[in-house]
Structure 1
Amino acid sequence: MIIAIDGPAASGKGTIARRLAAHFGLPHLDTGLLYRAVGAKALADHVNLDDEAALAALAGALDPAALDPEALKAGAVGEAASRVASLPQVRAKLLTLQQDFARQPGGAVLDGRDIGTVIAPEAEVKLFVTASPQARAARRHAELAGRGESVTLDAVLADILKRDQRDSGRANAPLIRAGDAALLDTTDMNIDESWQAALALVAAKRSGRVA
């Protein structure tokens, strides 16, 4: 079983994906970490974020097993990741890696921006997880503050809106809801409520009760 979970930043899709993977005993890939890793490497090596060929080379040399999720959660890395993710050559380098992960024996859970539309359009279960920009900004602000990063809520909201526009407006694999993806709006839900709602949607999709 392949479970594809898409949605904008800070919608809760990552937490939901991890819980679903644990619940069903499936491997999980946060595809955003791949782009964050490329962005982080570019920042560390002072690679211009508009140099598509150089960034694609970084993507081609990426070792998914060596990714450190905590180290890749800094705000600056998120902005860099959103920029490199809009580049076709970078996406092409990472496409096969993601598809191979999705199609491994037994299936997998993947979350990102284009899982249900590009990476695994054949997925048995597709969810599109979203929330209002204000709710997502508040979540991201709390997360950053918890890690000791000093940033205003207004700045986080502005970054969320800019990333939404970039992710949804890019010509290559934009963030859109797949036609057969169940919608989950977590604006007014806590983590446990979001998880329970997602689990119910998965059960409904598997039984054919959700189109």
Structure 2
Amino acid sequence: MQHITIAIDGFSSTGKSTLAKQLAKELGYVYVDTGAMYRAVTLYALQNNFIGDNYFKVEDFVLELDNINLSFKFNDSLGFSEMYLNGVNVEKEIRTLEVSSFVSKVSAIPEVRYQLVKQQQKMGEGKGIVMDGRDIGTVVFPQAELKLFMTASPEIRAKRRYSELIKRGDKVRFEEVLKNVQERDYIDSHREDSPLFKAEDAIEIDNSNLTLEAQFESIMNLVRMTMEGQE
């Protein structure tokens, strides 16, 4: 069957990455976690004191962008690629609540988005790719053959994120996780450059009450129909 580009957009903690990994594995496609890329850039900003609770040295940070090298390396034991920042595996570090608290602010910087979008478009030149993020179907791959837009209620998404963090051993309160989800929703949807919104030709998937199995089966049917339509 013809290879296609699958673009998955949506709000935080809607399971975009989990779904994308499932699809890529099933189809033998390349999976690119763009959220991990923005998280890695945010981690760099935190590590180098460009951003904090009461400050963001935007101009200084933008000058540093050329010194940030991002790459994915496949982990055979895990079955998916992990994020590397300047040659260091940062897969665990980028998933903390601290990084989550700043990533929307960092990703709202036009220069940051410009740099990462260029990299993402290059990764998808040959199709046969599944990419998830906030602006994949609207900016990165507006011509993608299949576009999905994931959503769920803030409370359900916060519960999912809270469970993940607790399972990892992080000490967090549900209230602060919910606040983070709501704040990220607002920033992502209201930023001037590439705001989060559903592309006109995207299929909305509200998975508030869907099991992972039911969601995957439903979306695989969409993938098959899209592939058949390309032949």
What TM-score comes out, normalization by structure 2 length? 0.84
Is the CA contact (8 Å cut-off) linking 2:100 and 2:180 kept in structure 1? no
Matched, 1:109 2:112: no
Separation in 2, partners of 1:37, 1:69: 8
Cα deviation for residue 78 of structure 1 reads 1.3
Q: Structure 1 residue 83 and structure 2 residue 108: aligned? A: no
User: Out of 44, 57, 60, which is 1:54 matched to?
Assistant: 60
Mean CA deviation greater in 186-195 or 25-34: 186-195
Equivalent residue for 2:218? 197
Assess if the C-alpha contact under 8 Å between 1:135 and 1:187 holds in 2. Answer: yes
Q: Deviations over 1:72-97 (max 9, x none)?
A: 10110112211101111111121210
Decide which of 158, 177, 186 is 1:137's aligned counterpart.
Answer: 158
Which protein is bigger by CA-based radius of gyration? 2
Whole-angstrom CA distance in 2 between matches of 1:55 and 1:203: 43
Q: Any residues of structure 2 matched to 1:1-211 within 5 Å, and which? A: 1-48=4-51, 50-65=56-71, 66-67=84-85, 68-103=90-125, 105-207=126-228
- Which amino acid is the alignment partner of residue 8 of structure 2? I
**Percent pairwise identity:** 37
In structure 2, distance between residues paired with 1:130 and 1:203: 22
Counterparts in 2 of 1:58 and 1:5: CA distance versus 1, 3 Å:
farther
One-letter code aligned to 1:175 = L
SS in 2 for 1:28: strand
Comparing 167-176 and 185-194, the one that deviates more: 185-194
2:95 and 2:11 map into 1 onto residues whose CA distance is: 15
1:92 aligns to what SS in structure 2? helix
Q: Distance in 1 between matches of 2:180 and 2:199?
A: 25
- Contact persistence 1:184–1:197 (CA under 8 A): no
In structure 1, give the amino acid aligned to 2:113: R
Gaps of 5+ in 2: 72-83
- In structure 2, the CA distance between the partners of 1:35 and 1:106, relative to structure 1 (3 Å rule), is closer
Structure 2 CA distance for aligned equivalents of residues 63 and 128 of structure 1: 29
**For 2:51, what is the secondary structure of its paired residue?**
coil
For 1:157 and 1:203, locate their aligned partners in 2 and report how far apart those are by CA, in whole Å.
Answer: 36
Which structure's residues are more often strand, by fraction? 2
Partner amino acid for 2:148?
L
Q: How far apart, in 2, do the equivalents of 1:203 and 1:27 lie?
A: 17
Name the CA shift for 1:56/1:197 in 2 (closer, same or farther; >3 Å). farther
Secondary structure in 2 aligned to 1:14?
helix
8 Å contact from structure 2 (residues 189, 195) kept in 1: yes
- Shift of residue 116 of structure 1? 0.1
Q: How far apart are residue 207 of structure 1 and its match? A: 4.3
Give the letter aligned to residue 42 of structure 1.
A
**Which has the larger share of helix?**
1
> After superposition, what is the alpha-carbon deviation per residue over 1:35-82, rounded to whole angstroms, capped at 9, x for unaligned?
101111111111136222333344433322224322210110112211
Q: Distance in 2 between matches of 1:114 and 1:207?
A: 26
